[in-house]
Structure 1
Amino acid sequence: MSGLVYSYTRFSDPRQAKGTSAERQAAYAARWAAEHGLRLDESLTLQDEGLSAYHQRHVKSGALGVFLAAVESGKVPAGSVLVVEGLDRLSRAEPIQAQAQLAQIVNAGITVVTASDGKAYSRERLKANPMDLVYSLLVMIRAHEESDTKSKRVKAAISKQCEGWLAGTFRGIVRNGKDPAWTRLVDGKFELVPERVEAVRTALDLYRRGYSPRRITLHLANEGLQMTDSGPQSLQIYRLIQQRALLGEKEIAVDGTTYRLPGYYPALLTPAEWDDLQAVAHSRVRRAGKSVVPHLITGLRIAVCGYCGHAMVGQNIGTRNRRADGGIHDGHRRLNCITYKNADCTIKPMTISVAPIERALMTYCSDMLNLQALYGGDRSSGPRARVAAARAKLAELTQQIERLTDAILQAGADGGAPLTFARRARSLEAEQVEAEKDLSAAERELAALARVDLAGADAAWQRLAEGVEAQDYDARVRARQLVADTFQRIVIYRAGVRPTETPKGIIEIMLVAKGGVGRLLQINAQGQLLAAEATKQQWE
């Protein structure tokens, strides 16, 4: 026999590693290698702590998965030996899956030795003693059944604790999943970790102000703030804004049932603040891009070409000569119809400076009378209509599902329901889930709008106007958020609504406020407002 000896240990609970089984197995592997004239490979550490073999986490993200990949790629020489405490250390998955895993190793010319009983499983031995294969299968069946029973018992206990929490009869710790990094358990109660809370609050504030996750992580790193031990990462921001732990809730999913335990953690956000945050996350339009000079109206799925209806995109030509203050010249900050490269949109000019449009927008919105004209009195009418439409859609789908369910039950009583009934039911249920999401988003938008008053809105635009013109990053990010909060659609007519009749250099912009009406602005190449009038055109 030639090859190397490898030792693999696995503990589903890291606390098990404190025992002596790992040392005992290591000694056994060394002794086995010496007795068979092989060398124990001590350079490769094969140990998984806290990884379940029942859920195959040790294969998906653990050392065993690395070993199996090395076997498959031929990096583990044929004739090598893998020493494990028992076959249950390799897998507690369904027997057919566990046996396939053992077969993968054995078929690669690797011998599996179990330290608990000294048995060796190799292709030659199993061929000579087929009953060993049967024995291995019985061990795997028993291991899976033990884990399956334990899993069901644990799930039942967790469900009981969750139901007790919701009923107010249980206030203990529910051992399931990870707790948020901004909390710590002290004497059976969760407390906030001040330095982590500061990092979380800073990240949320920047997200609301329109910063991208990348910018947020850079800011946190520069300030020396960490939300977790691993340091700031963009992915953490995406996860953070969806965590109901911010509300103080613990969310647990058990066998398809989701429990939300209110008051489990100290809350960082009020329900109103949570709704506002989810409205931001749902629209996905308030985050600034990576540009050094963020554009105010592009990248928000708001600005469109008035001629072809496609999106307008921004471009900074930053390689050319800069202004004396280091900023980008107006002519080098462009606004293009996304189709201009393939000439699908034929109205020229295909590209214009975005500076006059931004300048006119900031000036127009800095006047309260203009803002009032945009909203036409009731700014909540649009969101209310969307909520009503979403509710009607959901009610219609619910009725369809109920009728189809009745038909399936009747068909079953008459001898069997057609397969098309089941397919249609699944399709309707998927539509129902999407309709529920749409309704939640519309209700969040309406709730957020109800908390915002026009009073002082003009001052918010006025405060940012100078910084926007100076290309200050923070001012432009804040103004970008105001644009996202205010407008449902911004339609750009690069050469006017009627290009053949409009004087050269004139740009027309239709502003449609959320829940408001359309206003058509006419501006010149410097961004000066020449005319403004109401329009009945609405955009959905």
Structure 2
Amino acid sequence: MPRVISYARFSSRKQAKGLSLARQIEAAEKWCKEKGYTLESGDQYKDEGRSAFNGDNAAVGALSVIQAKLVSGEIEKGTILIVEALDRVTRLPLSDAFALMMSLVKGGLVVVTLSDGKVWNNETLNDLGSFMMSIVTLYRGHQESEFKSGRLRATFNMHRKRSSQEAFGSAPGWLKREDKTEPWTVKPELAAVVQRVFELSAAGFGSKAIAHKANAEKWPVVTRNGKEEKGWHAQMPGQLLRNRAVLGEMQHRIRTHEAHAKHWQGLITGAPIENYYPRVVSDELWNRSRASVRSRAVAKRRDAHYYNVFSGLMYCGLCGAPIHRKSERTGHSHAQLQCSDKVSGKTTCKTMAANLADPTILDAIYGYAIAALGTDERDGASADLDALETAIAEKRAEAANIARALGQTKGKGHALIQLTIKLEYEIDELQQQLLELKEEQSLQPTGTVFDERFVTEAMSFLYVPDDETAKEKRAELHLKLTRVVETIWLFAYDLAVIKYKDNPFPQLVSLPHKQLPSRANPKAKYHKPPKPKPEPEKAFFVAYMAQKLELPEPRKSAAFTKKAKPLILEHDEDGEEDEYLDAA
């Protein structure tokens, strides 16, 4: 008795929710039962969500596995292949479809189509009538797909030109509507989560830290598939922070198989449409968030609790390696500042207690730039500068994207040309605002009286563990430091050299020498205070003052020097276009 195998296929995500696959498998099992054959579960081949219109199933799908096993002999000649219809095997153009069909038959398979009860083998294909029937069937399968594809493309293009929302049934997870004729409305509880993500980002939190906080506080997931998600993954806040749908924008994309072959998200078509969705984030909050992301791009953060407020800023004065912070739950020093090369055993650079370095260095930075770190007015101006610079960079990236799209249309996209002109005007206006803001900020004093209260408050939360408020304040402090400080070189228990972003001349800070806390009890009856120890000579401080100390080049992370990617709208046009282009 010959071996029997079956092949089932469907193209679209929507069909996965239906009975297409189950129907095909049940029909194959019923045929085998009626004919007295046995269909083993290991002989049931399935292509779920693979297109026969573009040959994906024959190139990388289960059908390609059948072809490979035919060639290797794992599937014997004379094996019966059961399919629902020939269009489950292929919808390729006629010449390619017939070549594929002949390769299966010549390889030794006997193809049975359940829809019409036909048997396709060498004998039947040598019959003129059967041969012509196979040709007509294969041709009809491709033509049906081609017709549906053309019709759907025309429909979607018409709705895109009209900026209609009716043809596109999906939207971001924080929006809803009753049917496709109704406008989108905001889900208040999810919109509040979106705004919270942007607020935390603007305050200095990274994507992983926001995701951790979201899971700890059990925030609802704001994606379209939020009910299926088990929680926030580490990349989800970052994806949300790049999604311009929060501003109400919509970017249409062609999502055919050919388009996906060129770009995993499909190809951009047309200009972004403003006010397509209800806005849930203001321009001001968006720009502050983007500026904060750019400010944090000094280093990858591994300190989940933000204890290291100098992350990405502090480097070893001897070798230029990054300074790592090793926190201590017990002990006097709270943490140790360690050269990363010493940790790996490459050098013998000294380690310094954080409780001696932190207040001294922060005190020096506050004294230099108190207006940027200690007053709302100066802090707001600094944030506005960053936000404007970020907005200009994003407008330029958008203009570059449109220029590339215009090149593909060979200059025929009138709407794209108009949008490019509009963007140029907006960039000029933003640059003028930036210039005026810089002029205003230059008139503000940078050496105001030192705010002791602010430093005391900062130090009070610097080492507090397991406290969300302290964590948020440390994150904010780190963000502010990155706006002012460019590099800090640390010579343990000797010298810190601080290079500021707006000053070519570095600042020298003398660090306290190494000392352990006294164990003497002042309340003891015969207490005698310990003898004061002379402060050791600070060799590096002396050498720097004598201009005999050369600072090493800091080994800063290159993780954020990659090219900026366009901020695109992650949008799925409900899968309808995919479904009919696949023509399952």
TM-score by length of 2: 0.59
List aligned pairs for 1:128-147, cutoff 5 A: 142-147=140-145
Q: CA 1:526/1:476 → structure 2, altered by over 3 Å: closer, same or farther?
A: farther
Instruction: Give the equivalent residue in structure 2 for 1:262.
Output: 274
Helix, strand or coil at the partner of 1:505: coil
What's the CA shift string for 1:183-233, capped at 9, x where partnerless?
A: 112242212223433433333333333334333333323323221121322
Corresponding letter in the other structure for 1:323:
T
Q: CA 1:11/1:367 → structure 2, altered by over 3 Å: closer, same or farther?
A: same
State the alpha-carbon separation in 1 of the partners of residues 433 and 480 from structure 2. 10
Instruction: Give the equivalent residue in structure 1 for 2:488.
Output: 492
State the alpha-carbon separation in 2 of the partners of residues 134 and 523 from structure 1. 93
User: Does residue 272 of the first structure (1) align with residue 284 of the second (2)?
Assistant: yes
Instruction: Give the equivalent residue in structure 2 for 1:184.
Output: 176
List aligned pairs for 1:64-83, cutoff 5 A: 65=61, 78=76, 81-83=80-82
Corresponding letter in the other structure for 1:520:
Q
Q: CA 1:307/1:287 → structure 2, altered by over 3 Å: closer, same or farther?
A: closer
Corresponding letter in the other structure for 2:336:
R
State the alpha-carbon separation in 2 of the partners of residues 118 and 444 from structure 1. 75
List aligned pairs for 1:368-407, cutoff 5 A: 370-371=370-371
State the alpha-carbon separation in 2 of the partners of residues 204 and 221 from structure 1. 16
Corresponding letter in the other structure for 1:38:
Y
- Is 1:6–1:83's contact at 8 Å kept on the other side of the alignment? yes
State the alpha-carbon separation in 2 of the partners of residues 299 and 224 from structure 1. 28
Corresponding letter in the other structure for 1:512:
Y
State the alpha-carbon separation in 1 of the partners of residues 337 and 284 from structure 2. 38
State the alpha-carbon separation in 1 of the partners of residues 240 and 184 from structure 2. 18
What is the Cα deviation at residue 285 of structure 1?
A: 3.0
Q: CA 1:462/1:373 → structure 2, altered by over 3 Å: closer, same or farther?
A: closer
Q: 2:496 aligns with which of 484, 505, 508?
A: 508
Helix, strand or coil at the partner of 1:237: helix
State the alpha-carbon separation in 1 of the partners of residues 39 and 217 from structure 2. 48
User: Does residue 241 of the first structure (1) align with residue 241 of the second (2)?
Assistant: yes
RMSD: 5.7
State the alpha-carbon separation in 1 of the partners of residues 73 and 216 from structure 2. 43
Instruction: Give the equivalent residue in structure 1 for 2:87.
Output: 88
Instruction: Give the equivalent residue in structure 1 for 2:215.
Output: 221
Instruction: Give the equivalent residue in structure 2 for 1:173.
Output: 166
Instruction: Give the equivalent residue in structure 2 for 1:316.
Output: 326
User: Does residue 520 of the first structure (1) align with residue 512 of the second (2)?
Assistant: no
Corresponding letter in the other structure for 2:165:
G
Corresponding letter in the other structure for 1:225:
W
What's the CA shift string for 1:7-34, capped at 9, x where partnerless?
A: 5242647379768x77764554234213
Q: Tell me the number of residue pairs that the alignment of Structure 1 and Structure 2 aligns.
A: 458
- Is 1:337–1:350's contact at 8 Å kept on the other side of the alignment? no
Q: CA 1:196/1:190 → structure 2, altered by over 3 Å: closer, same or farther?
A: same
State the alpha-carbon separation in 2 of the partners of residues 226 and 517 from structure 1. 48
What is the Cα deviation at residue 262 of structure 1?
A: 1.8
What is the Cα deviation at residue 67 of structure 1?
A: 7.1
- Is 1:279–1:445's contact at 8 Å kept on the other side of the alignment? no
- Which one is further off, 476-485 or 215-224? 476-485
Helix, strand or coil at the partner of 2:330: coil
Q: CA 1:84/1:384 → structure 2, altered by over 3 Å: closer, same or farther?
A: closer
What's the CA shift string for 1:103-150, capped at 9, x where partnerless?
A: 88779876543223334456x669978998997677556544543453
Instruction: Give the equivalent residue in structure 2 for 1:432.
Output: none
Corresponding letter in the other structure for 2:160:
C
Helix, strand or coil at the partner of 2:281: coil
What's the CA shift string for 1:473-495, capped at 9, x where partnerless?
A: 64345434433344365433333
Corresponding letter in the other structure for 2:84:
E
Instruction: Give the equivalent residue in structure 2 for 1:199.
Output: 193
- Is 2:338–2:352's contact at 8 Å kept on the other side of the alignment? yes
Instruction: Give the equivalent residue in structure 2 for 1:425.
Output: none
State the alpha-carbon separation in 1 of the partners of residues 155 and 315 from structure 2. 54
Q: CA 1:9/1:70 → structure 2, altered by over 3 Å: closer, same or farther?
A: closer
- Is 1:366–1:462's contact at 8 Å kept on the other side of the alignment? no
What's the CA shift string for 1:364-404, capped at 9, x where partnerless?
A: 455586446999xx9699979989x989x99xx9xxx9xxx
User: Does residue 294 of the first structure (1) align with residue 310 of the second (2)?
Assistant: no
- Is 2:82–2:111's contact at 8 Å kept on the other side of the alignment? yes
Q: CA 1:516/1:456 → structure 2, altered by over 3 Å: closer, same or farther?
A: same
- Is 2:201–2:293's contact at 8 Å kept on the other side of the alignment? no
Instruction: Give the equivalent residue in structure 2 for 1:30.
Output: 29
Structure 1 stretches lacking a partner, 5+ long: 166-170, 402-435, 496-503
State the alpha-carbon separation in 2 of the partners of residues 130 and 39 from structure 1. 32
What is the Cα deviation at residue 304 of structure 1?
A: 4.0
Helix, strand or coil at the partner of 2:474: helix
Corresponding letter in the other structure for 1:207:
S
- Which one is further off, 254-263 or 283-292? 283-292
TM-score by length of 1: 0.63
- Is 1:355–1:527's contact at 8 Å kept on the other side of the alignment? no
Corresponding letter in the other structure for 1:484:
L
Corresponding letter in the other structure for 2:500:
V
What is the Cα deviation at residue 59 of structure 1?
A: 8.3
What is the Cα deviation at residue 522 of structure 1?
A: 0.8
What is the Cα deviation at residue 261 of structure 1?
A: 2.0
Instruction: Give the equivalent residue in structure 1 for 2:152.
Output: 154
State the alpha-carbon separation in 1 of the partners of residues 388 and 216 from structure 2. 44
- Is 1:213–1:234's contact at 8 Å kept on the other side of the alignment? yes
Q: CA 1:372/1:44 → structure 2, altered by over 3 Å: closer, same or farther?
A: same
What is the Cα deviation at residue 240 of structure 1?
A: 1.4
Corresponding letter in the other structure for 2:219:
L
Corresponding letter in the other structure for 2:177:
L
List aligned pairs for 1:91-130, cutoff 5 A: 91-92=90-91, 112-120=111-119
Helix, strand or coil at the partner of 2:362: helix
Q: CA 1:220/1:42 → structure 2, altered by over 3 Å: closer, same or farther?
A: same
State the alpha-carbon separation in 2 of the partners of residues 103 and 461 from structure 1. 81
Helix, strand or coil at the partner of 2:10: strand
Instruction: Give the equivalent residue in structure 1 for 2:529.
Output: none
- Is 2:323–2:338's contact at 8 Å kept on the other side of the alignment? yes
Helix, strand or coil at the partner of 2:205: coil
Instruction: Give the equivalent residue in structure 1 for 2:339.
Output: 336
Instruction: Give the equivalent residue in structure 1 for 2:250.
Output: 250
Corresponding letter in the other structure for 1:314:
H
Helix, strand or coil at the partner of 2:177: strand
- Is 1:111–1:120's contact at 8 Å kept on the other side of the alignment? yes
- Is 1:285–1:299's contact at 8 Å kept on the other side of the alignment? no
- Which one is further off, 109-118 or 234-243? 109-118
**Rg larger in structure:** 2
Q: Which has the higher strand share?
A: 1
Q: CA 1:519/1:91 → structure 2, altered by over 3 Å: closer, same or farther?
A: farther
- Is 1:4–1:80's contact at 8 Å kept on the other side of the alignment? yes
Q: CA 1:235/1:106 → structure 2, altered by over 3 Å: closer, same or farther?
A: farther
State the alpha-carbon separation in 2 of the partners of residues 484 and 256 from structure 1. 35
- Is 1:11–1:50's contact at 8 Å kept on the other side of the alignment? yes
State the alpha-carbon separation in 1 of the partners of residues 353 and 149 from structure 2. 63
What is the Cα deviation at residue 323 of structure 1?
A: 0.7
- Is 1:5–1:38's contact at 8 Å kept on the other side of the alignment? no
State the alpha-carbon separation in 1 of the partners of residues 102 and 236 from structure 2. 39
